[in-house]
């Protein structure tokens, strides 16, 4: 019996998929089809898959062409499957020509002619029109955002606005997009507005963008005041638009894996969360100069609060800040201590003090340590009382990681609102409240 294997995502099952399976089946007597998981697709940079794994498997089943369907969940699995299932022929479409030649040492490799003029990417674009992104702000993060957005199918960065037209023009030239002086024209040319301007301008830009009927992706901290955050989310709901806070860690696959393992009993009940993020910044940078809104906590606190809120929830009993300020009254180093009914947490941020960027989760039977930089979660260990008893986990974190939040926001715009559990409206409102309390106390 000749055994054939093929792999794919098979999203929005189409004629090209059917024709490929038909010909794959004809190559032998028994056809195995490997279908990728959403997580595996994410780690290999394929974002925005619409159909669930179950739906994609069901669609293949319906063709009646597959004798067996398996799930592909990691790199290196193809080789293992070839051995495990005693495969004679590996086949995929001609878009992959050459990529799998390394398997020729283990079985025959056949590239089948790809069906022209059809792909899942095309269908996704047809189902959901391209969302044009307009960027407000031209700083470091905005410069990182544009190349990341280019990797997400379904969105297209089109234009930029900055009250300083020269900055906007320079940015626009660099990225091949349009610069607008008139904000009305800018809104007209955008479907999603990405806000990467100084913190204190977020509120009014978000409000204005929502007024213009735009979806909003706003850099953290979304707001520095709880009432404003509550108002904005209510307004977004009223306008039927998505308002999304861009804390990239919340959307990356490694952080999702970490939360899953931390909450699965691997370390018993969680009793401590300690997160630290420090970044030495020069004196002439906005974060070090802005006496009202600058400083380490407004800059980095959102990251450190994220694992605390995700693991302990929004209902803390007490929060207390300890801060070292510079001569301008800006905090260079801040520790926020939080007390919950069943645990303690600290968020440590530094702009003028350097420490290890570690996340430590302590439980009743062990602890998890996430290696620096934990906010780009890619490696963590689970430890127990016996120092030799260590479990190790890793996950890929691609590029600057902004692609993950863009991708989740796009799914939400396209109707998959279940994605918002990763960073809820309540999480963002709670963080805004903590920022507010911190700034009030720093001022006092
Ligand atoms: N395929 C094909 N002809 C097409 C599209 C896909 O023969 N027009 C083949 C691919 O070469 C692969 C299999 O179908 O062997 C599954 O491909 P998949 O990547 O799931 O489909 P695409 O439509 O290429 O998806 P995307 O646009 O997301 O890359």
What's the mean pLDDT in 365-385? Answer: 97
Q: What is the pLDDT of residue 143?
A: 97
15 in contact with ligand 1, CB cutoff 6 A: no
**Ligand 1 atom closest to the CA of 12, numbered from 1:** 23
What's the mean pLDDT in 322-347? Answer: 94
Q: What is the pLDDT of residue 109?
A: 98
**Ligand 1 atom closest to the CA of 46, numbered from 1:** 28
Q: What is the pLDDT of residue 70?
A: 98
Q: What is the pLDDT of residue 43?
A: 78
Q: Which of 39, 43, 35, 44 minimizes the C-alpha distance to 11?
A: 35
9 in contact with ligand 1, CB cutoff 6 A: yes
Distance CA 69, CA 289 (A): 59
DSSP state, 395?
-
Interval between CA 114 and ligand 1 midpoint (Å):
8
Whether residue 417 has pLDDT greater than 80: no
43 in contact with ligand 1, CB cutoff 6 A: no
41 in contact with ligand 1, CB cutoff 6 A: no
189 in contact with ligand 1, CB cutoff 6 A: no
Query: Kindly report the CA angle at 34 between 102 and 117, in degrees rounded to 5?
Result: 85
Interval between CA 85 and ligand 1 midpoint (Å):
23
How confident is the model over 39-55, as pLDDT tens digits?
Answer: 888 877 788 888 999 99
Pocket test for ligand 1, best of 93, 110, 128 (most atoms within 8 A of CB): 93
Q: CB of 316 within 8 A of CB of 340?
A: yes
Inter-axis angle of helices 296-312 and 253-262, nearest 10:
50
pLDDT band at 293 (very low <50, low <70, confident <90, very high): confident
**Ligand 1 atom closest to the CA of 11, numbered from 1:** 20
What's the mean pLDDT in 5-34? Answer: 98
Interval between CA 220 and ligand 1 midpoint (Å):
37
Interval between CA 118 and ligand 1 midpoint (Å):
8
**CB-based contacts of 343, cutoff 8 Å, min separation 6:** 270, 271, 272, 273, 312
* Residue with CA closest to ligand 1 atom 11: 93
* Residue with CA closest to ligand 1 atom 23: 119
* Residue with CA closest to ligand 1 atom 13: 8
How confident is the model over 134-165, as pLDDT tens digits?
Answer: 999 999 999 999 999 998 888 999 999 999 99
Interval between CA 250 and ligand 1 midpoint (Å):
30
**Ligand 1 atom closest to the CA of 94, numbered from 1:** 11
Pocket test for ligand 1, best of 5, 9, 37 (most atoms within 8 A of CB): 9
Q: What is the pLDDT of residue 283?
A: 80
Distance CA 262, CA 189 (A): 43
**Ligand 1 atom closest to the CA of 36, numbered from 1:** 20
Whether residue 419 has pLDDT greater than 80: no
Q: What is the pLDDT of residue 46?
A: 82
Interval between CA 58 and ligand 1 midpoint (Å):
17
How confident is the model over 389-412, as pLDDT tens digits?
Answer: 999 999 989 999 999 999 999 989
Interval between CA 25 and ligand 1 midpoint (Å):
16
Interval between CA 86 and ligand 1 midpoint (Å):
25
Q: CB of 302 within 8 A of CB of 310?
A: no
What's the mean pLDDT in 233-239? Answer: 97
Q: What is the pLDDT of residue 327?
A: 85
Distance CA 396, CA 440 (A): 39
48 in contact with ligand 1, CB cutoff 6 A: no
Q: Which of 32, 122, 116, 29 minimizes the C-alpha distance to 68?
A: 32
Interval between CA 8 and ligand 1 midpoint (Å):
7
**CB-based contacts of 390, cutoff 8 Å, min separation 6:** 381, 382, 383, 384
The percentage of the chain sitting over the pLDDT mark of 90, rounded to a whole number, equals 86
Interval between CA 16 and ligand 1 midpoint (Å):
7
Long-range contacts, stretch 56-62, CB < 8 angstroms, 24+ apart: 56/9, 56/10, 56/11, 56/13, 59/10, 59/13, 60/10, 60/13, 60/21, 60/33, 60/35
pLDDT band at 22 (very low <50, low <70, confident <90, very high): very high
20 in contact with ligand 1, CB cutoff 6 A: yes
Q: What is the pLDDT of residue 126?
A: 83
Whether residue 282 has pLDDT greater than 90: no
């Amino acid at each position: 019996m000749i055994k054939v294997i093929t792999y794919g995502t098979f999203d929005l099952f189409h004629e090209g998929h059917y024709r490929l399976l038909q010909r794959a089946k004809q190559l032998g007597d028994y056809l195995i089809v490997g279908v990728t998981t959403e997580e595996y697709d994410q780690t290999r940079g394929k974002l925005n898959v619409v159909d669930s794994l179950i739906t994609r498997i069901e669609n293949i089943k319906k063709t009646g062409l597959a004798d067996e369907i398996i799930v592909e969940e990691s790199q290196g699995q193809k080789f293992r499957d070839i051995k495990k299932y005693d495969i004679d022929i590996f086949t995929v479409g001609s878009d992959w020509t050459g990529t799998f030649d390394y398997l020729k040492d283990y079985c025959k490799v056949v590239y089948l002619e790809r069906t022209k003029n059809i792909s899942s990417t095309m269908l996704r674009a047809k189902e959901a029109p391209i969302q044009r992104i307009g960027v407000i702000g031209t700083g470091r993060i905005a410069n990182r955002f544009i190349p990341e957005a280019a990797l997400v199918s379904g969105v297209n960065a089109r234009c930029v606005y900055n009250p300083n037209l020269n900055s906007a023009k320079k940015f626009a030239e660099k990225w091949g997009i349009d610069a607008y002086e008139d904000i009305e024209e800018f809104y007209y040319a955008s479907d999603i507005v990405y806000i990467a301007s100084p913190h204190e301008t977020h509120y009014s830009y978000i409000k204005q963008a929502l007024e213009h009927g735009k979806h909003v992706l706003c850099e953290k901290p979304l707001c520095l005041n709880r009432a404003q955050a509550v108002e904005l989310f209510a307004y977004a709901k009223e306008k039927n638009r998505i308002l999304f806070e861009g804390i990239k860690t919340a959307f990356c696959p490694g952080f999702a894996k970490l939360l899953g393992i931390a909450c699965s009993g691997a370390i018993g009940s969680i009793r401590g969360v300690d997160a630290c993020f420090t970044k030495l910044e020069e004196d002439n940078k906005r974060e070090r100069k802005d006496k009202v809104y600058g400083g380490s906590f407004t800059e980095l606190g959102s990251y450190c609060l994220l694992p605390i809120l995700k693991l302990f929830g929004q209902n803390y009993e007490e929060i207390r800040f300890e801060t070292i300020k510079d001569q301008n009254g800006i905090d260079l180093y801040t520790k926020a201590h939080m007390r919950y009914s069943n645990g303690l947490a600290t968020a440590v941020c530094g702009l003028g003090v350097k420490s290890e960027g570690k996340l430590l989760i302590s439980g009743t039977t062990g602890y998890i340590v996430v290696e620096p930089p934990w906010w780009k979660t890619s490696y963590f260990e689970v430890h127990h009382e016996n120092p030799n008893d260590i479990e190790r986990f890793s996950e890929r974190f691609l590029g600057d990681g902004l692609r993950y939040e863009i991708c989740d926001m796009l799914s939400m715009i396209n109707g998959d609102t279940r994605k918002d559990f990763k960073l809820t409206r309540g999480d963002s409102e709670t963080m805004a409240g903590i920022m507010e309390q911190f700034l009030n106390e720093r001022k006092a």
